[in-house]
Amino acid sequence: MRSYSIDQWCELHGLSRPFFYKLQKQGEAPKTFPVGRCVRISEEANAAWVTAREAIAA
């Protein structure tokens, strides 16, 4: 399974890290999971987030 760090995910979507935390606070960020001291976002969570954003835009 591929996963992204928060920084990698933000770079992938052209978003800033503070904006990610704003989304997270609003309950609109992708699901994350801990790996040791790191926080990761799975490919599946990323795909679900993109699909949700597309549905909102439609």
Domain of residue 35: give its range: 3-57
Cα distances (Å, whole numbers) of residue 38 to 26, 47, 55? 21, 20, 30
pLDDT tens digits in sequence order for the chain, 58 residues long: 899 999 999 999 999 999 999 999 999 999 999 999 999 999 999 999 999 999 999 8
pLDDT of residue 50: 97
The number of domains in the chain is 1
Contacts of 45 (CB under 8 A, 6+ apart): 30, 31, 32
pLDDT of residue 1: 80
Q: The whole model's pTM is what?
A: 0.91
Q: Is the dihedral of CA 26, 29, 30, 34 positive or negative?
A: negative
